[in-house]
Amino acid sequence: MHNQPWIDLTHPITETMPVFPGDPPPQILKTATIEKEGYNEFSVTCGTHTGTHVDAPWHMLEDGASISGFTLNTLCGPAQLIDARGKSKIDSELFTGRQLSNGDRVLIMTGHSATYGTASYYEDFPELTTECANLLADSGVTLVGLDTPSPDRAPFKKHHILMRARILIIENLMGLEKLSSFSDVELIALPLNLQTDAAPARVIARGISP
């Protein structure tokens, strides 16, 4: 079970990385040098939705929980990998034959991360259907991760459906194709422990069963 290599699903944070239209780009400033202070240090400024990150319900719901309100047991553990490559929308048919139950985590592989850094990444990504969002919410799933910038577009109806069910959303994953031979994976998603609506995260996974 544990002889598979860990796969990094995280986009690196750089000053030139793409960000959601309207969001501030990261700023990375060197504030100390070995030559002057005897050590290197940097100041990093970025939005809570920079790169690979986790959305908490507070992002869309005024009374929703912040990212610091979730336990590691929610963020880490077994996850089902759903192959949605080639689909123009992420619908409930993708879950045919898959058993979802309370506390499950789901990673949805669309292949869209291949367009990261191009205009089409934020313009042409596949969305969750309302039916699929309701299926995930009703099943008791606690976390949904995607290799797209969002599960939907304005007015963000699917965000609201998921977040009212207290489902965390990981956005901007990469490299899920490296896990495509597995239906189940072990997931570790570690957002910064901030009392905010979301936080950048280091997300890794490895295969469990074919």
Just list the catalytic residues.
Answer: 59
Burial class (CB in 10 A: 0-12, 13-18, 19+), 96: exposed
Look up residue 57 and give its DSSP letter.
Answer: G
Per DSSP, what are the bridge partners of residue 81? 107
φ/ψ of 188, rounded to 5, equals -130, 115
Cβ atoms of 78 and 184 closer than 8 Å: yes
Cβ partners under 8 Å of residue 129, min gap 6: 89, 90, 91, 92
